[in-house]
Structure 1
Amino acid sequence: MEKIIAGATVQVNDEGYLTDHHQWNREIANEIAEEEGIELTERHFEVITFIQDQYAAEVPLTIRKIGKSGIVDIKEFYQLFPNGPLKKASRIAGIPKPVSCI
Structure 2
Amino acid sequence: MQLHIHGRDIALDKDGYLINLEDWDKEIANTIAAQENILLTPAHWEIIALLQEFYREFELSPAMRALVKYTEKKLGTEKGHSIYLLELFPPSPARIASKIAGLPRPTNCL
TM-score with structure 2 setting the length: 0.83
Name structure 2 gaps, 5 residues minimum. Answer: none
Deviations 1:10-66 (A, max 9, x none): 111111100111110111101100000000011101101111111122255121122
Runs of 4+ in 1 over 3 A off after TM superposition: none
* In 1: Cα distance, 2:24 partner to 2:61 partner: 20
1:74 aligned residue (76, 82, 99): 82
Q: Does 1:29 align with 2:29?
A: yes
Secondary structure in structure 2 of the residue aligned to 1:75: helix
Give the alignment's Cα RMSD to 1 decimal: 1.5
Name structure 1 gaps, 5 residues minimum. Answer: none
Task: State the 1:74 CA deviation.
Answer: 1.2
Mapped contact 2:98–2:105 kept (Cα < 8 A): yes
Secondary structure in structure 2 of the residue aligned to 1:68: helix
Secondary structure in structure 1 of the residue aligned to 2:13: coil
Secondary structure in structure 2 of the residue aligned to 1:51: helix
* In 2: Cα distance, 1:75 partner to 1:46 partner: 16
The share of aligned pairs that are identical, in percent, is 35
Task: State the 1:88 CA deviation.
Answer: 0.7
Q: Does 1:91 align with 2:104?
A: no
Larger radius of gyration: 2
User: Which residue in the other structure is 1:63 paired with?
Assistant: 64
